[in-house]
Amino acid sequence: MQAVLAQELSKEFSGVRALDSLTLSLPEGSVFGFLGPNGAGKTTTVKLLTGLLAPTGGRCAVLGLDPREQAERVHALCGVMTESARLYPQLSGLENLEFFGELCGMTRAAARARGGELLRRLGLGEAGKRAAGEYSTGMAQRLSLARALLARPRVLFLDEPTSGLDPESAQAVNALIGEQAGQEGVTVFLCTHQLRYAEDLCGCYGILDHGALLAQGDLAGLAKAAGRGSFAAFRLAQGETLPGCEGAGGWWRRPLACPEEMPALVRGAVAAGCSVYEARIETPTLEDVYFSFIGREEGGALL
């Protein structure tokens, strides 16, 4: 059974196509990074998959359940964190978690224990007693994440969980997400703009722009689809050149078909009498890949 399944999923808002025939299939246990510029349709997708919006076309399922028809069963298995889902300002952080824990069928004591533990993990141990209305943006964000994790969900939908967080909190949040992702069978659907974090956490990605899925796959697959290969790079002494390589800023580069080529290239450089200070394989980063897709799209639009 697929954790998340979308077939030709579309959503139109009074004439605006927010999502255009998204087809996606994520097996259980995958950690999926959903990337795309502002207005691409990421939040819309999460809301469709969690039953907050009804699709105007196509269908979707979470763990084989229809998020509209069987909303409460889907919600029992999913933890959802979206920016627009806030917590009660007059209740304290911990009371909020107690309340939502009870809604998930936990006893109040169990919800309290689990909530307290999550708050501590997210650096809100002390703040847990304060009214949520007094929280800063970043604190409220972490409280929302704690709420999403309360009932140990099997599928986690996170819409920009680290936007607006300071580096320390972002690290704590990412550590917690990483821990969830590492658990057996837990699927993570992560929408984010922070490509570095996504690269650390996710195993596969989808790149969305203007409601259309441009590419999907793991980093290597995406790099290939984007026509971005690896490079062998050498830093040589000043004034030296390496035949067959292009030089820039003291580094000499040539495309690398596979890592196995590298030792021979290093030997070649040494044999050619070069003073090799550094040699490394440069693989495309998620950022490189992302920009080649988004950039290409923009370029195409200009023509």
Partner 1 sequence: MKRMLLTLPERAIVRKDLRGVWHTKMVRVTVILVPLLLCFALPAFYLAIAWLAPEDQLATGDFVPFLPNGGEGMTARQMMVTLISQVLGPMFFLMIPLMVSTASAACSFVGEREHSTMETLLLAPVPLRRIFRAKVAACVLLALAAELVSLLAFSLVMAAGSLLFSSPFYFNPAWAVLVFLLAPAVTLFGVTFMVLVSGRSRSSMEAMQTSGYLVLPVILLFAGQFSGLFTLGPLLLLLVFAAVAAADAVLLSAASRAFTPEKLLKG
Ligand X SMILES: Nc1ncnc2c1ncn2[C@@H]1O[C@H](COP(=O)(O)OP(=O)(O)OP(=O)(O)O)[C@@H](O)[C@H]1O
Q: List residues binding ligand X (CB under 6 A).
A: 13, 16, 18, 36, 38-44
Q: Which helix (H) or strand (E) holds 97?
A: helix 93-103
- Binding-residue pattern over the window 22 to 61 for partner 1, x denoting contact by CB under 8 A: ----------------------------xxxxx-------
- Rule CB under 5 A: choose which of 10, 30, 43, 230 binds Mg ion: 43
Which segment (39-47, 49-57, 72-80, 282-290) binds Mg ion by CB under 5 A? 39-47
Angstrom distances, CA of residue 206 to CA of 60, 69, 124: 16, 26, 32
The item of Mg ion, ligand X, partner 1, none sharing an interface with residue 215, based on CB under 5 to 8 Å by kind, is none
Q: Which helix (H) or strand (E) holds 253?
A: strand 251-256
**Residues within window 113-152 making contact with partner 1, judged by CB under 8 A:** 147, 151
CB of 117 to partner 1, least distance (A): 20
Residue number of the CB atom closest to Mg ion: 43
The item of ligand X, partner 1, Mg ion, none sharing an interface with residue 71, based on CB under 5 to 8 Å by kind, is partner 1
SS3 category, 175? helix
CB of 78 to partner 1, least distance (A): 8
Asked if residue 283 lies in contact with residue 223, where contact means CB atoms within 8 angstroms, the answer is yes
The item of ligand X, partner 1, Mg ion, none sharing an interface with residue 277, based on CB under 5 to 8 Å by kind, is none
| Count of Cβ atoms closer than 10 Å to residue 127 Cβ | 20
SS3 category, 76? helix
**Residues within window 56-85 making contact with partner 1, judged by CB under 8 A:** 71-73, 75-76, 80, 82, 84-85
The item of Mg ion, ligand X, partner 1, none sharing an interface with residue 38, based on CB under 5 to 8 Å by kind, is ligand X
| Count of Cβ atoms closer than 10 Å to residue 86 Cβ | 13
Burial 142-153 (b: 16+ CB within 10 A, else e): bbbbbbbbbbeb
Decide whether 43 or 92 has the Cβ nearer to Mg ion: 43
Decide whether 38 or 90 has the Cβ nearer to ligand X: 38
Q: Considering all CA atoms of the chain, what is the largest pairwise distance in Å, rounded to the nearest integer?
A: 73
Told to check if 10 binds Mg ion by CB under 5 A, we report: no
CB of 7 to ligand X, least distance (A): 19
Sign of the dihedral through C-alpha 179, 26, 185, 54: positive
The rounded distance, in Å, linking the Cα atoms of 36 and 49 is 17
Residues that bind Mg ion (CB under 5 A): 43
